Amino acid sequence: MSFSLSKLTGLAVLITPSLATYTLSDEYNSTNFFDKFNFWDTNVNADPTKGFVKYLPRDQAEQAGLISTTGTNAIMRVDNTSYPQDGRASVRVQSNTVYNQGLFLLDLDHMPHGCGTWPAFWMVGPDWPKHGELDIIENVHEASSDLVTLHTDNGCNLAKTGAFTGKPGNTNCAYQPGCGVDAANPNSYGINFNNNGGGVYATEWNSDALSIWFFPRDAIPADISAGAPTLAGWGPPMAQFYKSGCNIDQYFADMQIVFNIDFCGEWAGEANVWGASCSQKAATCEQWVSGTPSAFTAAYWSVRTLKVYTETADVAAHNSTAANPKLAAPNALFVEKPASGPAAEVSSSDP
């Protein structure tokens, strides 16, 4: 199926983002970051994307030096010294807390990039796709532009209403391939993002829409920096999924936050995708990832903070800690396979 990057018609009406009063309700920082997540372990649950990856539990990730903190940042990286035959060691973490609506501000200094990598920052509900999935940061290899994607049950669509700065693609959000928007910003992903000092990804989730902004380090709005976001003056979002096409309250609930760094798999490892991006490195993605550990020194997340704000009257109602937090459903991670040229082909394993 084609993930067209051509503009949809009818995007003339600006849907004004919420100007609700937001109160800080949760914060992930270097003092508490890893205590607020559970860790995927591929010895218990295989990687659903068939990646060339071994996700480690927390104790092993700490021992291997894959997770660490500095005075200001939390770091999640991959192994860059060994020559594995069954997958490179990495991390995938999912929040203990589940969320229902809010404003999520990720202040990020560095994201993984490079041939073979498939990183993602996303949110997913407990029963996929009934409770929805929102991929906020995701792409593969040496891409420079972020892809934002929704996956839902039948009946949710990317509306031909509203205004956002990205390039809309498939409009049917159901299952796979989902619906998506290319950020169309060469600094929103990968090496350019990192070289420019990172920035802030802002996601507003309310009954009207799911709206995503990206602000480079030198253009972060003053209200974000002050810790009192109002959304005034932010301009149109990079991507927006409006209620006229998708009943947000019906299709998204009890979402958990996920960071992961995958390798190869059903997207990055697909022959056409590898061939279009990185075939000069090795014949296959797996050969490159297995045989070139030094290529992955830049494959890490460096998070300053992840702050969650909730409308003032609804703080208690919208955040809760799962009594038994569960990892995402094995088929929850969207598999998106961009082809060469102006379109991106999208496919996945069966849901």
Task: List, for residues 160-205, the tens digit of each pLDDT value.
Answer: 766 899 999 999 999 988 999 999 899 999 999 999 999 999 999 9
* pTM of the model as a whole: 0.87
- Distance in angstroms (rounded) separating the CA atoms of residues 308 and 126: 19
**Which residue matches tokens 């990687």?**
47
pLDDT at site 312: 80
DSSP string, 206-249: SSSEEEEEEEEGGG--HHHHTT----TT--S-SEEEETTTS-HH
Count of positions (residues) in the chain: 351
Question: In the predicted model, is pLDDT for residue 292 greater than 50?
Answer: yes
Question: In the predicted model, is pLDDT for residue 326 greater than 80?
Answer: no
- Distance in angstroms (rounded) separating the CA atoms of residues 170 and 177: 8
Quick one: which H or E segment has residue 288? Answer: helix 285-291
Integer angstrom CA distances of residue 79 from 82, 89, 150, 266, 297: 7, 5, 30, 21, 8
Residue 260 pLDDT grade (very low, low, confident, very high; cuts 50, 70, 90)? very high
CB 66 within 8 A of CB 90: yes
pLDDT at site 161: 67
Residue 339 pLDDT grade (very low, low, confident, very high; cuts 50, 70, 90)? very low
Give the residue-averaged pLDDT of 107-112: 99
235 vs 324, higher pLDDT: 235
CB 110 within 8 A of CB 300: yes
- Distance in angstroms (rounded) separating the CA atoms of residues 190 and 345: 20
316 vs 302, higher pLDDT: 302
Q: Which of 143, 189, 139, 147 is nearest to 169 (CA)?
A: 147
Domains in the chain (CATH in brackets) are: 2-346 (2.60.120.200)
Question: In the predicted model, is pLDDT for residue 14 greater than 50?
Answer: no
Residue 332 pLDDT grade (very low, low, confident, very high; cuts 50, 70, 90)? very low
Q: Which of 138, 204, 286, 311 is catalytic?
A: 138
Question: In the predicted model, is pLDDT for residue 245 greater than 50?
Answer: yes
State both tokens at 161: 């209403």
State both tokens at 159: 């509306």
Q: Is 194 helix (H, G, I), strand (E, B) or coil?
A: helix
Identify whether 133 is a catalytic site residue: yes
State both tokens at 351: 């849901």
Residue 316 pLDDT grade (very low, low, confident, very high; cuts 50, 70, 90)? very low
Q: Which of 133, 270, 311, 336 is catalytic?
A: 133
- Distance in angstroms (rounded) separating the CA atoms of residues 182 and 3: 10
122 phi, psi to nearest 5 deg = -155, 175
pLDDT at site 20: 75
- Distance in angstroms (rounded) separating the CA atoms of residues 295 and 141: 12
| Residues of the chain above pLDDT 70, percent | 83
HSE (side-chain half, CA atoms, 13 Å) at 43:
6
Using the CB atoms, write b or e for 321-338: b if 16+ within 10 Å: eeeeeebbbebbbbbbbb
Ranges 20-34, 73-87, 160-174, 319-333: which has the least confidence: 319-333
pLDDT at site 122: 99
pLDDT at site 335: 38
Give the residue-averaged pLDDT of 324-344: 36
Residue 290 pLDDT grade (very low, low, confident, very high; cuts 50, 70, 90)? very high
∠ CA 245-168-230, rounded to 5°: 70
pLDDT at site 49: 92
Identify whether 138 is a catalytic site residue: yes
Question: In the predicted model, is pLDDT for residue 317 greater than 80?
Answer: no
pLDDT at site 15: 52
Omega cis (within 30) before 129:
yes
Q: Is 345 exposed, middle or buried (0-12, 13-18, 19+ CB in 10 A)?
A: middle
